[in-house]
Structure 1
């Protein structure tokens, strides 16, 4: 809908007054899309290969539309609250009522859990905005409930990759909000966090303790050589295989088709466990980009994350809480995706692409307009 709405830019042709920062964010989107489509072309992937890269290109007119006609921030935070509550509620139903081992929503379990976590932590970013609203208590309550439900959705999914980045998420929130609070309140928040984490770990219904012990067992089995095909063991083998492939073609990469052929050769030679041939990516965003698109592919991926992060971060201490909330949200978006990418090739999935590309467009467009004021 946002993309279709951007047609109005061709009709009304509003003056956007793009700044250097805007052009660099747009360039990051275009560069990532271009390298992805170029890989699809030379690797012979056909239309299948350009489906996801082109969505980053289509996010550009959406970004321009948001800059021309910025929405009320209440609509953005409301959408995140509804999404987080919906994800957490559905995950709770699957886990507690239906007895599922891991809540999956209607998509891949890792994608579902991590995106639920993303919406939850973005609700926390909105607390600064809520603080200066006339109906402060209502908005603070809604955002906190959304944050809780989003995090619960992640816990019920058992997607451990999203939990690894929690310390970095807390660091961003501290830099954006908590560092300005009195020491007594900081202490209270710290005690609450420790108590909350302890409760989540202790309650068997969350599945956190069992997933933690599964991870330790996977590592033990891998190191002993007893089983290399566990969840973590398979990842270790895929990462090892990706490193082998990168060493052979570090500059241009193998392409998606070439990657799978290369992994099959490595498995046939006994260099890696045959389990790696069951996957079309190494379960790591950065190794995936490096192995398939070479140094250039890795470079544009880092650009896609680090350029927006750098510009969002400049307003983490802004006295304008509305602007600061968007700054915190933008940094959290990039930090979360970097975290998710450590154990999953998140941007090869439709959900991962759409959430990053279009959330970035909405957040940057809203941020850039208010940053000028």
Structure 2
């Protein structure tokens, strides 16, 4: 049984490394990475592989809360369609990525603790590649299109930012490479600063909103040698410094002023079709749909037809009637999947978030850093989802499930490694 595992680990690691680097760069990288890991997991099950004496059934039982939470959205869609008897198989496409987390994580567990330490460089390379791509597609911040190849620029900016923060906190376990640790850490810092620059030139307010929260997690993690009060102080200081630097920029000031003006216009005329006004109108309409269908919602496939019908009746503006989602993850899932959708989404955010947050208390620096990355994924997607429906895009679903699986598996492997050393 050792030989199959040995061979699979050298299949899984290249998949994880290349996917981490290319997921946001190439249209096919995310899907190829996901399905390659899925196929590897199925091969592993056929070979009856075990991880440290743990079989697949034991793996399911041991981490059942995490597996169930990751499958929450898929289950919500299933309940909606079973109860409404309105079946639309394509609605399962992206949510099934998270639903199959149990298999993706099982495949990831083939890698060793050392392999996961090597993966830190995929985060740095991936962040640098995304920065270059953002600079090219925005012409250095002079133009802003709605889409970046295969995803909206909003999602691209969001996930580029996460890659930069991954690079930053991975400083805690940079290897001692013949005295070159300082240079390697400098490269990571450049990747982080570059990701902030990429978020800046993207003019994506959702990404800007997430920066203080991600910075707070990073500060708490990086200054682990301090007491709680000092940690809180450094976290607050980091947030203030980054916020001030961004607010000093004319581009940021213009975007903030535009939002303030839109809010003012909406307060005087709720039918205004400004960017913010349209979002407020969508949120209001989505919540009304939830109140009309509180248990199962109206269904994913019915959202746009319902808006179009409301538009024809003159109940909402023509611009709102043309939208394909609510521009808010929570409101969209409440409207389309009702209470099941809300519960599924919150489970998807909170259960992995609590899992990673608990690991932050570890005394091991590597575990702290990896736990911080996992928490950043969860916190980041919560913030990103306030202004957009992030999980509507395949790249976002692939990012969430693959990186959650990578970081979960990294923690598992590191804890096992430490336990062996202690025994």
TM-score of the aligned structures, taking structure 1 as reference length: 0.88
In structure 1, what is the Cα distance between the partners aligned to 2:60 and 2:193? 37
CA contact (8 A) 2:219 2:238 kept: no
Gap change, CA 1:261 and 1:187, over 3 Å in 2: closer
Spell out the pairing of 1:284-323 with structure 2 (5 A cutoff): 284-323=328-367
State yes or no: 1:6 paired with 2:41.
Answer: yes
CA contact (8 A) 1:104 1:113 kept: no
Paired position in structure 1 for 2:202? 157
State yes or no: 1:27 paired with 2:71.
Answer: no
Q: Let me know the Cα RMSD of the aligned residues.
A: 2.9
State yes or no: 1:88 paired with 2:131.
Answer: yes
Q: Give 3-state SS (helix, strand or coil) of 2:359's partner.
A: coil
Gap change, CA 1:124 and 1:104, over 3 Å in 2: farther
CA contact (8 A) 2:79 2:296 kept: no
In structure 2, what is the Cα distance between the partners aligned to 1:269 and 1:103? 29
In structure 1, what is the Cα distance between the partners aligned to 2:242 and 2:70? 38
CA contact (8 A) 2:216 2:238 kept: no
Name stretches of at least 5 consecutive residues in structure 1 with no aligned partner.
none
In structure 2, what is the Cα distance between the partners aligned to 1:188 and 1:257? 46
Which region of structure 1 is more displaced relative to structure 2, 309-318 or 239-248?
309-318
Which region of structure 1 is more displaced relative to structure 2, 324-333 or 90-99?
90-99
Paired position in structure 2 for 1:202? 248
State yes or no: 1:174 paired with 2:246.
Answer: no
Name stretches of at least 5 consecutive residues in structure 2 with no aligned partner.
1-35
In structure 2, what is the Cα distance between the partners aligned to 1:218 and 1:354? 34
CA contact (8 A) 1:103 1:157 kept: no
Q: CA deviation at 1:130?
A: 2.0
State yes or no: 1:236 paired with 2:276.
Answer: no
Deviations 1:131-179 (A, max 9, x none): 7776532332222122112222221111111221222222222332325
TM-score of the aligned structures, taking structure 2 as reference length: 0.79
Paired position in structure 2 for 1:130? 174
Q: Give 3-state SS (helix, strand or coil) of 1:126's partner.
A: helix
Gap change, CA 1:20 and 1:67, over 3 Å in 2: same
State yes or no: 1:78 paired with 2:121.
Answer: yes
Choose which of 222, 226, 246 in structure 1 pairs with 2:290: 246
Choose which of 99, 106, 121 in structure 2 pairs with 1:64: 106
CA contact (8 A) 1:154 1:162 kept: yes
State yes or no: 1:15 paired with 2:44.
Answer: no
Gap change, CA 1:57 and 1:109, over 3 Å in 2: same
Which region of structure 1 is more displaced relative to structure 2, 227-236 or 133-142?
133-142
Gap change, CA 1:264 and 1:86, over 3 Å in 2: same
Paired position in structure 1 for 2:385? 341
In structure 1, what is the Cα distance between the partners aligned to 2:146 and 2:318? 28
In structure 1, what is the Cα distance between the partners aligned to 2:81 and 2:163? 31
